A and B are shown apart, each in its own frame.
Chain A
Amino acid sequence: MQIHEAKEDGVLIVAVQGNVDTMSAGQFEARLVELIAEGSHRICIDCSAMAYVNSAGLKGFLVAAKELDARDGRLVLCGMSENVRAIFDMIGFTQIIAIVPTREEALRRLAEPAAA
């Protein structure tokens, strides 16, 4: 797994590449927590290069979502493949984390004033 970070209009874009599984989930979660602690409160995680995520990896996403929620921040995921989307669907995370098809849409969402 590799993580590429970029800033765009005050939004931190985290592009994930490879598998977020038992082996890499710890690193993934720790990095996200670190980035949030450093002050990134609007985060877009680009999952277009993410091949697979298991429950350990999902925990990383959940922790990020919780941390941002606690700080009035926002998290939007984008670019998911159908397989990955199905996993998020099954665990029910599509009901608690915003997931959009493209990065542009994600950035637009994050640019909006805080949703009601």
Chain B
Amino acid sequence: MARLVLLSVTANLSRRLLIWVGVPGMLLFGGVIWLVSVRSFDRVRDQTEQLIRAMVETHAARLDGSLYRASKIAELLAGALESGTVREQQQLETLLGQMVEKSPEFYGSCVAFEPESFLPGERLYAPYFYWKEGKVQFEQLGTPEYNYFEKDWYKTPKGNGEALWSEPYFDEGGGNALMITYSVPFRRGAEFWGMATIDIALSQFAEELARIRVGQTGYAFLVNRTGRFIVYPDAKLAMQGRIQDINPELARHLLTTEKGVMRTRDPLRNEEAWVAFAPIQNGSLALALVYPREEVLLPAVRLQSEMFVLGGVGLLALFGAIFIVARSISRPIAQLSLAAQEVAAGNLNQRLDIRAGTEEVRNLANAFRKMTRDLKMRMQELEYTTTVQQRMEGELSAARSIQMSLLPKHFPAFPERTEIDLHAIVQPARAVGGDFYDYYFIDADTMCLVIADVAGKGVAAALFMAVTKTLLKANSVHAMDPAEMLTRVNEELNDEKTGMFVSLLFAVLNVRTGELRFCNAGHPAPFLISAAGRRRSLDGQSGVALGAWRHLRYAAQVHQLEPGDTLLFFTDGVTEALNPQEQFYSIRRLEDLAGSFSGRSAQQITNAVAHDVRRFCAEHEQSDDLTILAARWLGQQPAPTTLHNHGT
């Protein structure tokens, strides 16, 4: 579940590393720990089984040896009596005493006879030597208080007719100790004669077994062939309890004459334990060693927990390393992405203080730093050029206002003149200023018309235009001879080597007679449109634009206007206006449009032209100034009465 959640989250770097490195590492650690524990547990088990098997065999052999020696003593006594070697009381008691004295490990030894069979007249005779307080003591067991014929150690072997070890018993009035006895019956002739016995105090077994060390908590116990505990750590059960009542499974194996090792319940603590067992004296007794599982496995458990701790520390270190590495990579990247956002927001002055541990990230940070620096430089350049551009635009707008201030813009131009209807439009382009027009009367009948286009742009063009206009005005005395006038103005404009020039039409109209004189200096020829709508381009001789070249002669044309004739002056801003397909408006289109001008006022005509050009250009930006001037000669009209009255 936790893994799933981890995987489903959009993983950042450290999470991915943890999943793809940390988790496999954890699994590997876990696997190693599991394998090593399994192996170590197996090993400990094997070693334990071998150990306690060897131990039980060794100790069983020792006990067996001891019991064997005891049984041999009893058999020796019996043999000595049966063979007739020992016949007298003195002899027997000496032998018995010596034997006991030589065997301090045994409690005592006794030879008991059938009534009146050894000492004549003595019904009971059973000399008994035993150890007490480090000395061999003698006692005649055959007393009326101690009727040995009824004792198990005498009665049972007599009945069976063969030697055997007794059940443990307390020899009340005899040895006065808890003991077991080996009884060997002996005969005289074919007749049962008596019993040679040897006693072993159970306390001796207890001492012996107490010396057996089975680890720290293990122990040894001894049962006889009926399963009764001879020596058992729980004193309450010694002599009383039986193994089959406590652990029948163990009893089944224990009470055979086999030896072996098994895993079963500890009879004492009822916990898992290994129990090794071996028979003694052909199954008369059985020795068992109990080794509690808990202690057996303690080394393995300790190893396992050590490995858990070690693995835990290792994993912790691994996770820590992953976390640190991931952070050392991802933190500078996160900082970079933050910085990138800052840059995107326009903050180019931030100091990027990134210490990246990995070379790749360091390179990235350096590249980012360089990018920001370059970007900043570009921004500064852009700012500078913008400033320059703004200054230029400022200059252009200044030029434009100079240009516009030089143009007469009050219409109707001459409200008191009924002979002439005049209107002009100028539409400056964004970047270029150079067109101008002018009209003025130099005497009562003579009107000058000027349309011009200065090459170039900006303040220089505007100033050149002002100079031209001034020079034209200054030379008005020669207006009646436009060719002479332009020749003079041209010389004066050529005084300065500016390379600037102006294409210009200068016309002089006698509003009384309709006589038109004009001189063209490199300008598009005007149209003359009759009242009936006939168009004529006045494209006679044309000279060089003024200011271009000195020492030139200009020539004039003379035309006679009819009443209702309209003169249409324009600059190349009209005919060279571009549409989105980069086509020119063209003189032809203007001429076609002029066909509809008959009977229109000058203002209607200029507006119609401007409107048509705008429609033609559509969304294409106007690239040059555009100037239209229309002058309609209405002929000599009857003077209005007001004017007449005024004249008188």
Contacts and interface: CB of A to CB of B under 8 A. Distances in A.
Q: Do A and B come from one complex?
A: yes
Count chain A CB atoms within 10 A of each CB in B434, B456, B499 and give the residue with the most: B499
B432 A62 contact: no
B544 A92 contact: yes
Interface in B492-551: 497, 499-501, 503, 521-524, 542-545, 548-549
Contact of A54 (B454, B522, B576): B576
B548 A96 contact: yes
Interface string A24-62: 000001000000000000000000000000111011001
A92 B457 CA distance: 20
A70 to B, nearest CB: 8
Contacts of B501: 58-59, 62, 91
A59 B522 contact: no
B522 A91 contact: yes
A48 B503 CA distance: 25
A90 interface: yes
Nearest to B578: A52
B455 A56 contact: yes
A29 B499 CA distance: 10
A90 B453 contact: no
- Chain A, interface size category, equals 10 to 19
A34 B431 CA distance: 26
A111 interface: no
Contacts of A65: 549
B270 interface: no
A59 B572 CA distance: 15
Contacts of A81: none
A95 B499 contact: no
Interface of A: 21-22, 29, 54-56, 58-59, 62-63, 65-66, 90-93, 95-96
B523 A63 contact: no
Contacts of B521: 92
Contact of A55 (B456, B497, B542, B549): B456
A95 B432 contact: no
A101 to B, nearest CB: 21
A91 B544 contact: yes
Contacts of B500: 59
Given A22-B432, A22-B623, A92 B456 contact: no
Contacts of A58: 455, 501
B624 interface: yes
Contacts of B432: 22, 56
A62 to B, nearest CB: 5
Interface string B466-503: 00000000000000000000000000000001011101
B576 A66 contact: no
A65 B548 CA distance: 10
B544 A66 contact: no
Interface in B606-640: 623-624
B549 A96 contact: yes
A93 B544 CA distance: 6
